[in-house]
Structure 1
Amino acid sequence: MSKNARLSLIIVAVVAVVIAGFVFFSRNNNTTAAPQSAGGKVTVVEYLDLECPSCRAAHPGVEKLKTEYGDRVTFDVRHFPIPSHRNAELAAVAVEAAGAQGKRDEMFKLMFSAQQEWGGQQTSQRTVFAGFAQQLGLDGAAFEAALEDPALRERVLQQRAEGSKAGVQGTPTFFINGTKFTGAPTYDALKSAIDRELSS
């Protein structure tokens, strides 16, 4: 092999390594906490705490936006239970336990509609959440078993860890096509931000 041929091969190899490294670090820096849109659609990621009054206040607007945009916008709700909220983590696990029986969204709604009753309590609200499961017609034994499932708790804690890595410091925090939304997350403000992404 000639000297020039060997040099060309070395250059190609170095370029390949550099490109691979760029792809690797780009992938790692763009965490799953704030995914980009796919296929021209818009992705809205919300990190919330079920015991947070601000999350409860934002919830009706988010639900309205989901209805209005349909499949043009993907809404991804993730858990970020704040440690100082005594029952936030258990509430998140309860939502996922309901999700195992196809009632995740319904449990979200119940949690928020009754938040003023169970939120802010310093004792476990597990019995209250079991009552919610009963209201939704869930299998009570399966729901109770799911509350004890370490995998569900790990899912909740993993989402919180991803949120922290993405810069979430309080709730609710929204990302629209990977960009952190700033300002009060009102219906109008979120709609304007989504519309900008849809028209770009």
Structure 2
Amino acid sequence: MPGHRNGELAARTAEAAPRQGRFKEMYTKLVSTQREWGEPQDWKQSVFRGYAKRLGLDMATFDTALSDRETARRVEDDQRDGLGPGVQGTPTFFVEGTRISTPGSCEAFKALIDDRLSG
């Protein structure tokens, strides 16, 4: 999201890891450590590279993927796809193309989906 200093870099990090078959692991690491890098305004590339090292990624391959124009394009496309319909933060949910208020629980979300499916 715009305004998050490291958001775009985190997204490219998540896009670079699958080239070595490690998307799930990197995504989990990014989500579980978001407080470390999500709000600070200093550049956290060394933090993300540290995650890649700990996951056992080949760093030359990771760095190439991280700086690759195709990786950046995918992130830009995803950002545009979210900002177009008015996404202003995460999580944001859409049901049948309509943005909905974030349900207060998994049960409330399931009930909303069940209601839409039965109607």
Matches within 5 A, 1:95-114: 95-114=14-33
Identity %: 45
Contact 2:93 2:102 in 1 (8 A): no
Q: Distance in 2 between matches of 1:164 and 1:196?
A: 27
> What is the aligned partner in structure 2 of residue 119 from structure 1?
38
Q: Distance in 1 between matches of 2:43 and 2:97?
A: 35
Residue 179 of structure 1: how far off its partner (Å): 2.9
> What is the aligned partner in structure 2 of residue 183 from structure 1?
102
TM-score, with structure 2 as normaliser? 0.86
The AA in structure 1 aligned to 2:57 is L
Residue 185 of structure 1: how far off its partner (Å): 5.5
Contact 2:16 2:66 in 1 (8 A): yes
Q: How has the CA–CA distance of structure 1 residues 170 and 137 changed in structure 2, closer, same or farther, with 3 Å as cutoff?
A: same
1:87 aligns with 2:6: yes
Q: Which has the larger radius of gyration?
A: 1
Contact 1:91 1:129 in 2 (8 A): yes
What residue ranges of structure 2 are gaps of 5+ in the alignment?
A: none
Matches within 5 A, 1:146-185: 146-184=65-103
The AA in structure 2 aligned to 1:171 is T
3-state SS in 2 of match to 1:100: helix
1:66-121 per-position Cα deviation (integer Å, ceiling 9, x unaligned)? xxxxxxxxxxxxxxxx2211101000000000122222222111011111222222
The structure with the greater share of residues assigned to strand is 1
Aligned Cα root-mean-square deviation (Å): 1.8
TM-score, with structure 1 as normaliser? 0.54
> What is the aligned partner in structure 1 of residue 53 from structure 2?
134
Aligned residues: 119
Q: Which structure is higher in RCO with an 8 Å CA cutoff and minimum separation 6?
A: 1
Give structure 1 regions of 4+ aligned residues with deviation exceeding 3 angstroms: 183-186, 197-200
Contact 2:92 2:102 in 1 (8 A): no
What residue ranges of structure 1 are gaps of 5+ in the alignment?
A: 1-81
